[in-house]
Amino acid sequence: MIRLTLKLFLFLFFIIFSKISGQLYQVFQVVNIEKYQGKNFILEGKIFYNNDINNNSWMVLSALFLDGNGTGKGMIHSDDAQIYYKKGEWSSYELKGKIIKNAKGIAVGISVAGKGSYYLDDFKLFVLEGKNKIEVPLKNGGFEDASLMPWQSYNKDEGSKMSISTAKPLSGKQSLLIDNSAAIVKPSFGNNKEIGKFMEVNGVKLYYEVYGQGEPLLLIHGNNSSMASFNNQLEILSKKYKVIGLDSRGQGNSSSNDIKLTYELMADDVNVFLDKMNLKNVNILGWSDGGNIAVILGMEHPDKVKKMAIMGTVLYNNETSVDSKINKILNQQVNEMKANGISENDMNYRLKILLLTEPNINPDALKKIQAPTLVMAGEHDVMPEKHTKLIADKIPNGKMLIFKGGNHEAPQNMPEKFNKAILEFFEKI
């Protein structure tokens, strides 16, 4: 029998979802799929939101492959909760993937974030045999049994509730109710009310947290994320620097307005924020969108930046700078959101459009940057190494670093190498 190590399961989920501030926990069961190795599978589930979906409150389908020792490999999840979401209706969620070689089992289930309340029903697993769709039996997949077994949960906060409910079944007489509305969330980086503050900037309220003493080091996160994405960097950086975590407008705990979203606007947000903090000549660590923002800030306000380290940054979006598969997925997601009636003013929608249409930086304009800059990317990042080299070469005092074996998530999945690199860069005279 395959046994899932809960600690490992939690760790792998956290790697994926740590970008989102707020409460997280999982519900799952383990199924033997040894005979289906190498075949495609589809996971289906119906979800009803009692509260409106938002960037900090959602539910997605998840799957983690297991070897014979219960070691997790190749965890995947639904790309975006909002793609499938239909307000006031049961929403049909789906997760497609391929069962990896040597997988003995699969832990299928859901991952939940935020203080919302949700119903789950008709959870099913299918394997594709040619044109045939074969259902792999799950125990209590319709939640009709009196007991929740064999479903397991992990990482619930105090006040979170999970129960079989007769109040709102989709089919049969029961469904699973997950109620986080009374959850008592422990303070964490990016969601620490004891430390966190808000600042009025350009018509929005930007949320920030400050840790440690020393030279200021500003963290700027990636698209549809929050400062919490740097959770693996906070402890080591705050021992030597005054670390300032900042949530970009409309993301994390920061508010937004209807002004068109651009990287130039967000760079100006940072500029005004630093002015109000009475800070100049700060170190900056930017990841993905955060790198784009940092580059523009360094160009337009060179006095604000002492040094900057940027990870997974692009100057523009075309076939030479971004993997075409990424744009294909983004376009599919945008089309699905439109089909589901998601407003074009929705922040998630706007952030996807931002990725597809921006930035639009002339490489020659990088000569305006005066700060020494470490330009980083993973060997298997979303942009080709050629584009990362272009950025490093065009910045007068730029240096390139490629993390061998790494991808766009290097700050999370290889923190020791990443942290060592940025510390050496910032500390070098």
Q: What is the DSSP string of 14-61?
A: HHHHTTS-S-EEEEEEEEE-GGGTT-EEEEEEEEEESS--BTTBEEEE
List the one residue out of 110, 106, 197 whose CA is nearest residue 154.
Answer: 110
DSSP-derived 3-state class of residue 212: coil
Identical fold, 6-179 and 197-427: no
Cβ atoms 166, 173 nearer than 8 A: yes
Maximal C-alpha separation, the chain: 68
Structure tokens at 194: 């004891």
The reported pLDDT for the residue numbered 19 is 39
CA–CA distance from 362 to each of 334, 353, 374 (Å)?
27, 20, 19
Tens place of pLDDT for every residue, the chain, 429 residues? 444 443 333 333 333 443 344 446 789 999 999 999 999 999 999 999 999 887 778 899 999 999 887 777 777 888 788 889 988 999 999 999 999 988 999 999 999 988 899 999 999 999 999 889 999 999 999 999 989 999 998 877 788 999 999 999 999 999 999 999 988 878 889 989 899 999 999 999 999 999 999 999 999 999 999 999 999 999 999 999 999 999 999 999 999 999 999 999 999 999 999 999 999 999 999 999 999 999 999 999 999 999 999 999 999 999 999 999 999 989 998 998 898 888 899 999 999 999 999 999 999 999 999 999 999 999 999 999 999 999 999 999 999 999 999 999 999 989 999 999 999 999 986
In whole angstroms, what is the distance from residue 105 CA to residue 66 CA? 5
Q: How many CA atoms lie within 13 A of 378 on its CB side?
A: 17
Query: E-strand spans in 131-202?
Result: 132-136, 152-154, 161-165, 175-179, 197-201
The reported pLDDT for the residue numbered 154 is 81
Sequence spans of domains, the chain: 6-179, 197-427
Please report where in the chains the tokens 């330009």 appear, as a residue.
375
- What are residue 60's phi and psi, to 5 degrees? -135, 160
Q: Across-strand partners of 96?
A: 42
List the one residue out of 60, 77, 7, 64 whose CA is nearest residue 30.
Answer: 64
The reported pLDDT for the residue numbered 411 is 96
| Cα 414 from chain centre | 16
Stated pTM of the model = 0.82
User: Could you tell me whether strands 282-287 and 215-220 are parallel, antiparallel, or unpaired per DSSP bridges?
Assistant: parallel
**Residue 246: other Cβ atoms inside 10 A:** 26
In whole angstroms, what is the distance from residue 89 CA to residue 16 CA? 27
DSSP-derived 3-state class of residue 210: strand
In whole angstroms, what is the distance from residue 258 CA to residue 260 CA? 6
DSSP one-letter code for 364: G
DSSP-derived 3-state class of residue 265: helix
CA dihedral for 30, 58, 155, 416, sign (positive or negative): positive
In whole angstroms, what is the distance from residue 211 CA to residue 232 CA? 14
Architecture of domain 197-427: 3-Layer(aba) Sandwich (3.40)
The reported pLDDT for the residue numbered 184 is 81
Q: What value, to the nearest 5°, has the Cα angle with vertex 100 and ends 98 and 102?
A: 150
**Residue 130: other Cβ atoms inside 10 A:** 7
**Residue 396: other Cβ atoms inside 10 A:** 13
Instruction: Decide: residue 206, CB within 10 A, 0-12 exposed, 13-18 middle, 19+ buried.
Output: buried
DSSP H or E stretch at residue 13:
helix 6-17
> pLDDT per residue over 139-152, tens digit each?
999 999 989 999 99
**Residue 76: other Cβ atoms inside 10 A:** 17
DSSP-derived 3-state class of residue 389: helix
- Rounded to 10 deg, the angle between the 231-238 and 415-427 helix axes is 40
> pLDDT per residue over 73-118, tens digit each?
777 888 788 889 988 999 999 999 999 988 999 999 999 988 899 9
CATH code for the part of the protein at 6-179: 2.60.120
The reported pLDDT for the residue numbered 11 is 35
In whole angstroms, what is the distance from residue 361 CA to residue 315 CA? 5
